[in-house]
Amino acid sequence: MTSSETASARDWSTLPEDLILTAMSAMQIPNALHSALVCRSWHVAFATFRRLRLPSPPHPPCLLHSVSVSAAVYSPSTGARLFDLPHLTASAAAGVVGSAHGWLFTSDPRDANPYLVNPLTGERASLPPITTLRCVKGSRRIILSDSGENIAYDVDFRSGNGDDDAVKPVMAGAARRLMYHRVAISGACVVLLVHMPYREISFARPGDERWTSLTGAGGGFLDAVHNPHDGLFYLLQSTITVHHEVLAVHSLNLAVSPPVATSLTRTTTTDAAARVSGGISSSYYLATAPNGDHLVLAERRRLGEAPPTTMEIRLSKISLRRKSKLQAVVEIAGVALFLGHGGAFCLRVEDFSPMFRGNCAYLADDRDMTPSPCKRRLDLGVWDFRRGG
């Protein structure tokens, strides 16, 4: 082989596109993104890779955070900042409530209207405006002396007690922070939203004109997830009485009309009758385990510290295959949990060994826990269920 033939053989820019696509399918997402910068042919191949939505190997979860005017991705497995997201502004990142299937759910800082966005490409999918949620009765523009024109939404806080003066104005900025609590997104891009004022649920698909409210389900929903094993949504609901709190798990089938909700299990607790009491704050999560079971987590933090200190994480499990009751468990061998503002999710550590440890919860910041998220440090850490801390 001549020297020119050797050089040609080593020129990866001349590889056929199908071989380049095969190589990209074996790469982690950051490496696939960087490969698009190799040369023109690889850039074209990466566009094809994105368009065809070719599968990638299991990749470790990343944390999204704001950097100056844009957003960036941080890897907890390597402790490194992977890359910036020029298509995602810091204000858009600040409004993110949840993510799934490559989409982030966020809202516009100017009018609080929600949408889905691909953080890598900037592609958007429109969702119905905030004014089509059942509790929002209208909007109006208000001139403020310090910030110019702003939008106020008339939100109905009526709780069924006969209060006729329950419609209160909520400014767009406050609505953006408070309206959207949790979100679950299916592979078919059905968006299930837990929202204010009483943590009700509504759903929509990109392009719909209105949110569909599930008023019959009531309120008090704490979290929602989509289970790809059976295609159903699952919800965690709380009902608080004077001395007790009842936690219930429901399934929800949105593939039929009308949607079908089924109550799966209920359990009563006596130590969490209030969400915040005696300087202790409780937050609940619902997660789908790799085997299809569901995990319910109760995280308790001590307030008045910066950041608030995690005191305890209680773990319960419901097996849908055996239709068991909600049972307390001590360990989740082979599974790592991730808890944060967007909810919780699980992964098998064998797919990412030795990056993550089993029987642990990786704690990303959950700003629901404190009243002023912009004036404190982030709370990041690892909770070992076996050691209890």
Q: What's 90-106 look like in SS3? A: HHHHHCCCEEECCEEEE
Write out the residue range of the structural domain in which residue 316 sits: 220-389
- Are residues 310 and 383 in contact, defined by beta-carbon separation less than 8 angstroms? yes
**Ordered per-residue pLDDT tens for the chain, 389 residues:** 444 444 445 677 788 888 888 888 887 777 777 788 888 888 888 888 877 777 676 677 778 877 667 788 777 766 666 677 878 888 888 889 988 888 999 999 999 999 999 887 788 999 999 999 999 999 988 876 666 668 999 999 876 554 556 888 999 999 998 899 999 999 889 999 999 888 999 999 999 999 999 988 888 999 999 998 889 999 999 887 777 778 889 999 999 989 999 888 878 765 544 445 556 677 889 998 888 888 888 887 766 655 567 777 888 888 766 656 777 777 788 888 888 888 888 888 887 777 788 888 888 765 544 444 444 445 568 888 888 77
Strands 360-363 and 335-340: parallel
pLDDT of residue 372: 40
In a domain, 331, yes or no: yes
Q: What are the phi and psi torsion angles at 21 (to 5°)?
A: -65, -40
Secondary structure letter of residue 326 according to DSSP: P
Residue type, 332: I
- Distance spanning both ends of the chain, measured CA to CA: 63
Characterize 59-98 residue by residue with b for buried, 16 or more Cβ atoms within 10 angstroms of its Cβ, and e for exposed: bbbbbbbbeeebbbbbbbeeeeebeebebbbbbbbbbbbb
In a domain, 41, yes or no: yes
In a domain, 389, yes or no: yes
Domain count, the chain: 2
In a domain, 372, yes or no: yes
d(CA 111, CA 107): 8
In a domain, 329, yes or no: yes
Q: Which residues lie closer than 8 Å to 357 by C-beta, 6 or more apart?
A: 336, 349, 382, 384
Quickly count: other Cβ atoms within 10 Å of residue 214's Cβ: 20
d(CA 149, CA 161): 35
- Are residues 200 and 221 in contact, defined by beta-carbon separation less than 8 angstroms? yes
Residue with tokens 């509790």: 135
Overall pTM surpassing 0.75 (yes/no): yes
